[in-house]
Structure 1
Amino acid sequence: MDNNDPARRSPEHPNEAPLDEPESRHAAYYFFVSWLDLAVSLGITVIVGAVVIWVAIRVIQPAPPTTLTMSAGPEYSRFWFAAQKYKEILARNGVTLRVLTSSGTLENLVRLADPASHVDLGFVQSGLTSIPSVVSPDTRQVGLMSLGSVSNWPLFVFYRGPELTRLSEFKGKRLAIGREGSGTRQIVLLLLRANGVEPGSNAQMLPLVGEDAVNALLAGTVDVAFLTADSARPVLMEKMIRTPDIRLFSFTQAKAYVRSFPFLSQFEVPMGAFDLADNLPAEPTATVETTVELIARDTLHPALSDLIVEAAGEVHGGASLLHAAGEYPAPVAHDFPLSPDAVRYYKSGKSFLYRTMPFWLASLVDRLLVLVVPIVVVLIPAIRFVPPLYAWRVKSRFYRRYGELIALERSVLDDPSEQNYVEFTEKLNAIEKGLNKLQMPVAYADHFYELREHISYVRSQIAALQRGDDSRA
């Protein structure tokens, strides 16, 4: 219809532009579901859920690494051979163990304390952190933990000459105290200094160990040989104890040593331990011992912790002259706290998954179970927000047009000029035309018709204002 038709003009204001109705009227396009809005609403929920699951996988319990590094000991030493057994056991479970040789447990501890060395495990003799001159006190704070003691480490002292009962009587003698960098050497030096025996001033300390120390003692080039479980092979000890004028030192002050140094404990060499037929030694002999602990970084994956402690039982669980079967590994720690995962393992063993499945499969299932928590706690409640989010997206189209309608009405009320009436008509028609082209779910048709009524109401109010009708309601 022509907007210039006189019939369309206001009889009171024949020269004023009429407030036209939109040129074409038709209802909006209806359908049952707005798939786009539903997809966006669900997409937001899925994205939030995916982020939560990713955090659960990567942060809460990441996958166990497939490669570990262990600092063991000198090549062909007792520690080195033990590390090779660990390597075989872990390989059966798909974990590669890199074994590094070292000068001894002191170097193992230094490597573990240095994150840049990338060492995950190491054998460490207890008591080393009690020697500030050797190990920095800060070493206790570097994030290390114990997986338990894997062996006792008795100290055997053989000497030449008349019977001696105190370490202080070794003043002025030549002492074979072990290689540089070994934990045994540092423990021996600590005990000797407690007895007033100082290297360089009243005693000569020689870095001899094992067979070299034994041969030196037999040859008379040293007076005392300090041996530990690694270097005191039964054949060497039997050889020395059968040699006239060589004696096995008895720690008559063993109780005092244990109380003075908490990392020490008493050990008794049984009568006849070296030869039952000849009853050598002829009487029980007291000595002291430390323990060897398996130390790891506190970032060790719980699944690998269980696997390593289990391997320790296979490697160190047998009987020997030094300990009974099943005595090690044990939940005993001195210098570093016992790992919570190790404590759990010692109490209840492996979890059900790891008892019934291969390691790689149990690890996968264990990680998948972690997803149950975020799914139950986050995703299920989040699904409840999908309907409100969907409704808000649909209604927001009406909210936006209500905002435009309010602003348009306000502009005419603030400035009821002829030009504003013309612009108002054009913009109001555009709003209604856009509304009529909306595509929306049937469930929200009431909002469509309410907005159309409000548009008509505003149109009539502004028309009345243009006519000067003060009776508009």
Structure 2
Amino acid sequence: MKPVATVRDTLLSLRDLLVSVGPFALLALALLAAAYWWLDPNPPKRVVLATGPAQSAYDQIGQRYQRALAAHGIQVVLRPTDGSSANLALLREHKVDLGFVQGGSAEPQPEGEEGGLASLGSLFLEPVWVFYRAEVARRLPGKALTSPTQLTGLRVNVGTPGSGVPALVNRLLEANRMDPGALTLSRLDQTPATVAFLAGELDVIVFASAPESLLVQMLLMTPGVQLMDFAHSEAYARRMPFLSPVVLPRGVVDLARDQPPQDVRLVATTTSLLAQADTHPALVQLFTQAAREVHGSAGWFNRAGAFPTADHAEYPLAPEAERALRTGRPFLQRWLPFWIANLVERMWLALGIILAVLLPLSRVVPPLYAFRIRSRVFRWYGQLRDIEAQLAAPGADAAALIAELEALDTRVAGIQVPLAYTDELYALRQYIGAVRRRAAQPPAARALTGPAAAPTLATPANPT
């Protein structure tokens, strides 16, 4: 067989096969599209994360999340805020997708009232840092600040209302039966408060921040600035469940300079990453995986692997976050890009159902293909039988019928079918030849021979 003919026959077979499979393929694509629309497997490419004031620990940690998710094509827009309480308000108003919220910032509300917030886990400890100047210490009993009761009459900055620190300080004062009016309170942001503190305009400043905060690290190393030792840290933790007693070990800030010169007892809140309850599961998974990378190392107040954790949660833990905290990165994501692995992971059940539906239907394709090919040949049998019926009628015009048979044979000769079905084509041409020979006989002989014998229409076997 010539190469051109071989290519032509191959393309012909492929075309017929594609046409036969077409409805089946369209049904499969329609089912896949419906499953994709229903399951919505891929997360949005842009999310808003509420952080905190500039240069705060929340701001720095938010930037680390931003870089971690950018590797997966997710744009994390950082929303600067006054702090934890402001983040919680923005979450409840659905103005951000996620936010860092400090334990004890506000009482959790029922799900219907809070807009359905879910926790992605507790991320890190935020100690309450109470810094005071050395000249203030000289006026205190014992020359050191160890209890909020010693703050009476001092100029104390407790931060902006949106930071959550004012509410925390009020709880500490209330626990010590102190009237906030006994203090000269100010509510400056962290940076201007630090400037005023170092200038001597404030006696005490209160932060509730992770040790990664640049301002906290700077104040810990500043000569003449001391850190309050919470003598009753255990008692505060027992009375306020959102607080934990922690110890800043001696020398952990700077071993060479022995900073701090002794262990300092502190109380700390636990900061969680909260999200809307309807946040896309794949996005929850990505943020939880990023949390393991960002917060999994050892810190001043925890050992490696202690965070993130499901402990200390004041809000329900998102199911996807719980799974990510328990099992880590899914198996497919260890070997495939996130978008592919996530698509397979969230679509596999739907794919199984679609295959279960389509496999029985796929049995229709071979008979449909065979019918399409054979119909090209068999549809001419109707015209051939009409000619044969006219030939059997009295006074038939044999010459005209023979000319019609010649035209029919010419058209049939131009039919193209795959090699496996050529016997069907040749059977038709033999039938035409038999009728043509009968038409060429005299009328008397034509009546004696009778109709031409039709070839068999059984499904042919593939040629060897």
Preserved contact between residue 123 and residue 271 of structure 2 (Cα < 8 Å): yes
Q: Partner residue of 1:272?
A: 251
Q: How far does residue 108 in structure 1 lie from its aligned partner after superposition?
A: 1.2
| Correspondence 1:177 to 2:158 | yes
Alpha-carbon separation, structure 1, partners of 2:113 and 2:323: 22
Q: Partner residue of 1:354?
A: 333
Q: Partner residue of 1:152?
A: 125
Q: 1:320 to 1:212 in 2, by over 3 A?
A: farther
Which structure 2 residues correspond to residues 12-161 of structure 1 after superposition, within 5 A? Answer: 56-115=35-94, 117=95, 119-130=96-107, 141-159=114-132, 160-161=136-137
| Correspondence 1:238 to 2:211 | no
Q: 1:113 to 1:382 in 2, by over 3 A?
A: farther
Q: Partner residue of 2:175?
A: 194
Q: 1:238 to 1:329 in 2, by over 3 A?
A: same
Alpha-carbon separation, structure 2, partners of 1:368 and 1:264: 42
Query: Cα deviations across residues 258-291 of structure 1 (Å, max 9, x unaligned)?
Result: 1111111011011223443453433212110011
Identity of counterpart residues, as a percentage? 35
Alpha-carbon separation, structure 2, partners of 1:149 and 1:75: 22
Q: How far does residue 336 in structure 1 lie from its aligned partner after superposition?
A: 0.8
Q: Partner residue of 1:249?
A: 228
Is the partner of 1:89 in helix, strand or coil?
A: helix
Preserved contact between residue 180 and residue 207 of structure 1 (Cα < 8 Å): yes
Query: Cα deviations across residues 420-465 of structure 1 (Å, max 9, x unaligned)?
Result: xxxxxxxxxxxxxxxxxxxxxxxxxxxxxxxxxxxxxxxxxxxxxx
The code of the aligned residue for 2:295 comes to H
Q: How far does residue 257 in structure 1 lie from its aligned partner after superposition?
A: 0.9
Which structure 2 residues correspond to residues 298-447 of structure 1 after superposition, within 5 A? Answer: 298-375=277-354
TM-score by length of 1: 0.62
Is the partner of 2:221 in helix, strand or coil?
A: helix
The code of the aligned residue for 2:102 comes to Q
| Correspondence 1:225 to 2:225 | no
Is the partner of 1:205 in helix, strand or coil?
A: strand
Preserved contact between residue 73 and residue 79 of structure 1 (Cα < 8 Å): yes
Alpha-carbon separation, structure 2, partners of 1:76 and 1:275: 21
Query: Cα deviations across residues 342-384 of structure 1 (Å, max 9, x unaligned)?
Result: 1111221122211110012112323442323432565668999
Q: 1:93 to 1:50 in 2, by over 3 A?
A: closer
Q: 1:43 to 1:72 in 2, by over 3 A?
A: same
Alpha-carbon separation, structure 2, partners of 1:323 and 1:360: 33
The code of the aligned residue for 1:58 comes to W
Preserved contact between residue 148 and residue 332 of structure 1 (Cα < 8 Å): yes
Is the partner of 2:293 in helix, strand or coil?
A: helix
TM-score by length of 2: 0.64
Larger mean Cα displacement after TM superposition, 320-329 or 92-101? 320-329
Preserved contact between residue 56 and residue 374 of structure 1 (Cα < 8 Å): no
The code of the aligned residue for 2:49 comes to M
Preserved contact between residue 146 and residue 296 of structure 1 (Cα < 8 Å): yes
Q: 1:102 to 1:164 in 2, by over 3 A?
A: closer
Q: Partner residue of 2:196?
A: 216
Alpha-carbon separation, structure 1, partners of 2:286 and 2:112: 26
Preserved contact between residue 86 and residue 315 of structure 1 (Cα < 8 Å): yes
Preserved contact between residue 271 and residue 285 of structure 1 (Cα < 8 Å): yes
User: How many residues end up aligned between the 2 structures?
Assistant: 334
Q: Mark the runs of 5 or more structure 2 residues left unpaired by the alignment.
A: 1-21, 364-464
Query: Cα deviations across residues 19-78 of structure 1 (Å, max 9, x unaligned)?
Result: xxxxxxxxxxxxxxxxxxxxxxx989x97x888655533334543222212111223332
Is the partner of 1:68 in helix, strand or coil?
A: strand
Q: How far does residue 124 in structure 1 lie from its aligned partner after superposition?
A: 1.0
Preserved contact between residue 177 and residue 188 of structure 1 (Cα < 8 Å): yes
Q: 1:94 to 1:214 in 2, by over 3 A?
A: closer
Alpha-carbon separation, structure 2, partners of 1:104 and 1:141: 18
Alpha-carbon separation, structure 2, partners of 1:84 and 1:139: 32
RMSD: 3.3
Alpha-carbon separation, structure 2, partners of 1:172 and 1:136: 36
Is the partner of 1:226 in helix, strand or coil?
A: strand
Q: 1:260 to 1:372 in 2, by over 3 A?
A: same
Query: Cα deviations across residues 191-212 of structure 1 (Å, max 9, x unaligned)?
Result: 223323333x222211235454
Is the partner of 1:73 in helix, strand or coil?
A: coil
Higher relative contact order (CA 8 A, sep 6+): 1
Q: How far does residue 303 in structure 1 lie from its aligned partner after superposition?
A: 2.1
